[in-house]
Structure 1
Amino acid sequence: MHPTCPVERTTRSTPFEHVTRVEGCGVVEDWHLELDPSIPIDWVLASDVRGRAAIEMECDASALAVTTVAHRQIGVVGCGQRAIYLLVDGLWVANSITSR
């Protein structure tokens, strides 16, 4: 969440097993649990994919919409393309990128 959003204005839900959604102050963030014990990261933010997707899709990061599809899977849509990213070793990795 945004650091200036007070905790009392946030809500948490679990849209998928091992995914925590935090909403507040007009922001929605999905956190995915990395279950591999060899990875030092516990939780990975879905929106962290924007930088990588912007490069791979040749699209401005602000034009990309990020949606959780399932635990360790997110969809990214923008600039006439859509992609599925998988959480692998604590990083979002493109599984497929197609034109719409």
Structure 2
Amino acid sequence: MPKDSDDAPRDSSAAAIAASGLLEIASLVGEGDGLSYKHAAEEILISLHNTYTQGQEQSEGLLLHGTGYYMKDIYVDASLIYGDYYYVEALLKLKYA
């Protein structure tokens, strides 16, 4: 999962955005090169599902541990609506690709 520095928290929303972007690239470059982008996106989505979705924690969002603005300590270790959006978008891209 992406993080800003060694002591910064992980950011599930950035990972969801990256996964969706990788799947978009995969759809544009074709089957040969596209497979490596698709595989990278799948690995990110597996990690998000296994580690950053709701388990026993109570949250209104789908993804846990997002980071909105770390330097100002705003929305740190939170569920972020845009993280959820890109997570679902990436899952749908993967399903219908």
Q: TM-score range by the shorter chain?
A: under 0.3
Q: Which has the higher contact order (CA 8 A, sep 6+)?
A: 2
More strand by share: 1
More helix by share: 2
In the superposition, the TM-score normalised over structure 2's length comes to: 0.24
